[in-house]
Every structure is written in structure tokens, then in C-alpha cells.
Amino acid sequence: MENSTDDYKIQSLDVDAQKILKTALKDPSAVNLEKVSNIIVDQSLKDQVFSKEAGRICYTIVTAEAKQRTGLVFRKNLLNRLQQEFNDREETRARSLHAWTCFVTFICNIFDYLKVNDMPMVVLVHPVFDCLMRLGQPDALMNEEEVDCLVLQLHRIGEQLEKMNSQRMDELFFLLRDGFLLQDGLTSMARLLLLEILEFRAGGWMLSGTAHKYYYSEIAD
Amino acid sequence: MSDWTKDRRHSTEQDRRSNGPSRWSNCRKRGVDGSLRAGGGERENNNRHPDERSSSFTTPESTGPVSRCSMASDWGSLVQEDEDIRRDVQRDMQRRRILGTEVAQRERKTSSGSSGSHDSKDEDNIETDEAVLLRRQKQINYGKNTLAYDRYIKEVPKHLRQPGVHPKTPNKFKKYSRRSWDQQIKLWKVKLHAWDPPAGEDQEETQDHEEQLELGDVMDIELDFPTLLPPCAAHSLSVQGEDEDFSGTPVKLQKTEDVEPGMF
């Protein structure tokens, strides 16, 4: 069963790019895979919606390429481009919070989808943690956009991430507790998000029924 | 907040600061940006004691293992390497299964009731946990990926090797505690240093060292490394979480406070 390419949310790309991607999804050997990975990464840094879904596109291309047995060129290009962006993340953050949060969303999405032997790629574990730790820093917690990004990623991949390295997860949560308790100037929304994620993890990466009610139900007047 | 809780929070913070990132970052051969660390990282290693060994094992006199070729630090290659190691380990496991039955049959034929114990051939003495095997294989690869190892295998053919004198690659399929294994790897690499190229010699490109899967790598036919700890002591040591720190770095003994005096 083939996913219609609408599922991949590529509408935001220009027509040529869309065409290349569609081809890549079916027949990777027919396109320049370095170009494809650049298109995907570039778009992920601009478009929040795309960055949440890009992992699936990448997964499909990698799988298709593996079947063709031409070597995993796309994956290699993608990862190396990702690594570049990771190395430049501080500049990206200084330039644009939006691009920075898109990047984090993207790399976490890749972590989630691009598995090797049914396990997340080991090489991404520390970089992902580095990004999340950055989001947990005092200056980042002041921005709701960054807090929102942080808790979203933890909801999506926290459990898997913890399995790969629980020590770093502990460290991250030390930071988050500190931020929640000690930091002046946090918006109440930021504090709400932090409290929810603290409870979420404490509950084994899920919320109890009552907690869920508290955070997610409409408040009746 | 009461005074008591204030103090408690404060001291925990301090503990955490000093034990924080540097604890795990010490073990990593690569910095967060993927570049190979020589002997220490940048910001994360400020807390390290100056005498502390670098993350690759070294003997006090040498400057470090001389790599034949730099292991890749770009993510694309690292993922590929991980896959390759996994494939190699699975191949080894398969060979072991096949060869194991052959050797066992041979032994039954020539068995003379001698006292030689081959209990590692018992099923319960074989390491089968893939995660453990992968980690061990990586550690072995780091040792084999050196000029010293290349020179050693050229100089001393297998049939001329004397146990105890010549380094022998630890057998990853045998059951050992984590500490025992790490210790064997460390001693093995120390022994290999005897074949380091003399300083100043041109480090010419040695031929690509194909993973010569020697029988000894999958079976223990010769005498093994002496067990470094009596079996009961080895088992009572708390084995570190086998699933920690999968980053492609050589794992050294991390908890130095566990080391008993006279261990080295």
C-alpha cells in the first residue's frame, strides 16, 4: 500500500522539488540523492509542519534505496548534512529561533523514523540530547517557542531516548526541574509545559488519567 | 522553602555540576561535533584531573595508540560502520555455531578423559547477547586498527605465538563480567604497544588489513588469558549497565573508585 504523497506534506515545496521528491520515493537511483537530501533538510529548517514529517519521507527513500541495492547514498548524504547543521546550531539559533526549533524537530524526527535494525541510530543519541539540553538552558526556557519544542520532542521520543542513555535523560530532567522551580520570568504557559513533562516522565512516559484531565480537558466555567 | 530544603537543593546542584557532563564525555572518543578527541575535549573536560589518562588506553610512556587510519567521524560513515560491525558479529556467531559442532565432535573422538576443561563450549558459557558482542567487537576493532597490530601479525605468525608472551585477542564469545572483559582488552592493547612503530619512522600506508577471521577469534583452542578475578568475585561485582553508552568509543574502566589496590 503506497502512501499518497499528500501524506508527506510536500505541498509547501516548489513544483520542481516536489517532482524530484516524488521520484525519489519510488526510484531513488533515478535522482541525484545529494540534491534530494538537501531539499529535505532545507525545507525542514523553514517549515515546521514539514520538519515533523520529514522523517517518514526519509525512511521511505532509505528503504527504497536499500531494495535497489545501490548502497545507502541518500542516508549518508542526509546524515552528513544533518551533522553540518548540528555543528552550526548555535549560529542558527542566534539567527532565527524558528529555524533552530525546526532543526531540533527535524533531527528528532529522523531519530524516530530512521532506525537501523529496529533500533534508533546510535550516532544521533548524543546530538539529540545536546539539542534538548540546549533547549533546557535558562535562556531558552524564557522563550515559549523553545519550551514548546522541547516538550514536544520529549513526548515523541523521550522514552526511546531514555532507553539509549538514561544518564543523560536524568541530567536533562535535573535542568528542567531547576528551570521550573528556580527560574524567574518564565511564563505561566512555560511552567505548565514543564510541569506536564515532569509528570509525564515520572509516570513512565505517560500521563495518568487524572493528570491528563488536568492538562488537556476544557475547563468548564 | 525551608532552610533545610534550600541547603539540600544547593548541595545537590553542586554535586551535579561537578559530576555532570564531564562524567560521560570523558569516555567519548569524539566530541559532540563528531571530531575525534585527541586526549580530551574542549569545554566538557575542564574538570578532569591533569593526570587522567586519555580516553584511549595508553601506557605511560607512549603518546597513544598509533592509528593506521582515522576512523570516520562523520555520521554517515559511523552508521555504516555500526551496521558493518553488526554484520561481522553475526557472521562470527554463525561460524562459531558451525565450527563449534565440528570441534566438539572431533574432541569426543580423541577424548582421553584429560583434565583440560573446555567448559566455554558449554552453551551457558557462551556470550550471546548481541549488544554485548557488538560492544566487544568495537573494542577489538579499535585495537586491531593500529599500526602496532599490523606489525605484530606480520612479525609473529600464529603458530609461533606463545601464550603469555604474545598478545592474544580476547575471545568475545566467552562469558566474562564487564570489568574482566574491559581489563583484558586493556592489557591486550598494552601488550600490543610493544609493536608500535619507532617514533619518527615514516608511517607508510600499510596494506588494508582485511579482517582475517582467525579460528581463535571464534573458538578458544589455545590457552586463554588468565582469568583476572576469581570467578566468584567477578560475578559479585556489579556489572555496569550493558546498554549504556553505545557511542562508538572504546570503553575504559569508568568507575575508577571500584578498582582495588594492587589491581594494576
pLDDT tens track of chain B, all 264 residues? Answer: 444 444 444 444 444 444 444 444 433 444 445 454 444 333 443 444 444 444 444 444 445 555 555 567 899 999 988 888 888 999 998 888 888 777 777 766 665 555 444 545 556 778 888 889 989 999 999 999 899 999 999 888 888 888 888 999 999 999 999 999 999 999 999 999 988 888 765 544 444 444 455 555 555 544 444 444 444 444 444 444 444 444 444 444 444 444 444 444
B250 part of contact set with chain A, CB < 8 Å: no
Q: For A79, which residue in chain B has the nearest alpha carbon?
A: B76
Write out pLDDT tens, residues A48-105. 999 988 999 999 999 999 888 888 899 999 999 999 999 999 999 999 999 999 999 9
Write out pLDDT tens, residues A105-143. 999 999 999 998 888 999 999 999 999 999 999 999 999
Give the three cell numbers for residue B209. Answer: 588489513
Chain B contacts of A159, Cβ < 8 Å?
none
Write out pLDDT tens, residues B143-162. 998 999 999 998 888 888 88
Calpha distance A189→A136 (Å, rounded): 15
Say what the pLDDT of residue B13 is: 43
B16 part of contact set with chain A, CB < 8 Å: yes
Query: Are A124 and B75 a contacting pair at CB < 8 A?
Result: yes
Under 8 Å between Cβ of B81 and B30: no
End of a domain among A116, A138, A170? A116
For residue A164, give the nearest of B82, B83, B246 by CB distance: B246
Residue A79 Cα, gap to closest chain B Cα (Å): 5
Chain A contacts of B32, Cβ < 8 Å?
126-127, 130
Q: Which residue in the block uniquely carries the three cell numbers 607512549?
A: B62
B204 part of contact set with chain A, CB < 8 Å: no
Residue B207 Cα, gap to closest chain A Cα (Å): 25
Backbone angles phi, psi at B37, to 5 degrees: -85, 140
CATH number at residue A84: 1.25.40.180
Calculate ∠ Cα B212-B218-B219, nearest 5°: 125
Calpha distance A31→A40 (Å, rounded): 14
Say what the pLDDT of residue A68 is: 87
Work out the number of other CB atoms within 10 angstroms of the CB of residue B118. 13
- Residues A126, A150, single domain; the answer is yes
End of a domain among A92, A116, A140? A116
Listed range (A33-42, A141-150, A165-174, B48-57) with the worst mean pLDDT: B48-57
Say what the pLDDT of residue B55 is: 41
Residue B238 CA from chain centroid, whole number: 18
Kind and range of the H or E run holding A52: helix A48-68
Write out pLDDT tens, residues B177-198. 999 999 999 999 999 998 888 8
Say what the pLDDT of residue B71 is: 63
Calpha distance B205→B109 (Å, rounded): 47
Closest by alpha carbon to B81, among B69, B93, B95?
A: B69
- Residues A75, A152, single domain; the answer is no
Say what the pLDDT of residue B125 is: 77
The answer to whether the pTM exceeds 0.80 is: no
Under 8 Å between Cβ of A179 and A142: no
* b/e A193-203 (16+ beta carbons within 10 angstroms → b): bbebbebbbee
- Residues A16, A112, single domain; the answer is yes
Q: For A120, which residue in chain B has the nearest alpha carbon?
A: B79
Q: Which residue in the block uniquely carries the three cell numbers 550493558?
A: B242
End of a domain among A116, A150, A183? A116
Exposure of A96 by Cβ count < 10 A (0-12 exposed, 13-18 middle, 19+ buried)? middle
Reported as half-sphere exposure (CB side, CA atoms, 13 A), residue A50 has a value of 18
- Residues A96, A73, single domain; the answer is yes
B214 part of contact set with chain A, CB < 8 Å: no
Residue A208 Cα, gap to closest chain B Cα (Å): 28
Q: For A182, which residue in chain B has the nearest alpha carbon?
A: B9
The yes/no answer to whether this complex scores an ipTM above 0.90 is no
3-class state of residue A119 by DSSP: strand
- Residues A104, A137, single domain; the answer is no
- Residues A108, A139, single domain; the answer is no
Say what the pLDDT of residue B113 is: 52
Average pLDDT of chain B is: 64
- Residues A135, A111, single domain; the answer is no
Average pLDDT of chain A is: 92
Range(s) of the domain holding residue A179:
122-221
Say what the pLDDT of residue B219 is: 59
Say what the pLDDT of residue B258 is: 45
Exposure of A214 by Cβ count < 10 A (0-12 exposed, 13-18 middle, 19+ buried)? middle
- Residues A63, A46, single domain; the answer is yes
B86 part of contact set with chain A, CB < 8 Å: yes
A167 part of contact set with chain B, CB < 8 Å: yes
- Residues A70, A5, single domain; the answer is yes
Banded model confidence at residue A154, pLDDT cuts 50, 70, 90: very high
- Residues A74, A155, single domain; the answer is no
- Residues A188, A161, single domain; the answer is yes
- Residues A105, A189, single domain; the answer is no
Give the three cell numbers for residue B224. Answer: 586463554
**Residues whose CB falls within 8 Å of the CB of residue B173, separated by 6 or more in sequence, listed in order:** B92, B93, B96, B120, B126, B127, B133, B218
Under 8 Å between Cβ of B78 and A123: yes
- The yes-or-no verdict on residue A38 having pLDDT over 60 is yes
Residue A144 CA from chain centroid, whole number: 17
B74 part of contact set with chain A, CB < 8 Å: yes
Calpha distance A146→A192 (Å, rounded): 14
Say what the pLDDT of residue A168 is: 97
B80 part of contact set with chain A, CB < 8 Å: yes
Banded model confidence at residue A220, pLDDT cuts 50, 70, 90: low
Say what the pLDDT of residue A97 is: 96
Under 8 Å between Cβ of B199 and B81: no
B228 or A181, higher pLDDT: A181
Q: For A124, which residue in chain B has the nearest alpha carbon?
A: B75
Say what the pLDDT of residue A210 is: 92
State the DSSP string of B145-179: SBHHHHHHHHHS-GGG--BTTB-----TTB---HH
Q: Which residue in the block uniquely carries the three cell numbers 573508585?
A: B257
What's the total number of domains in chain A?
2
Q: Where are the beta strands (DSSP E) in A100-216?
A: 115-116, 119-120
Chain B residues 39-58 with CB within 8 Å of chain A:
none
Say what the pLDDT of residue B136 is: 93
Say what the pLDDT of residue B217 is: 57
Under 8 Å between Cβ of A183 and A140: no
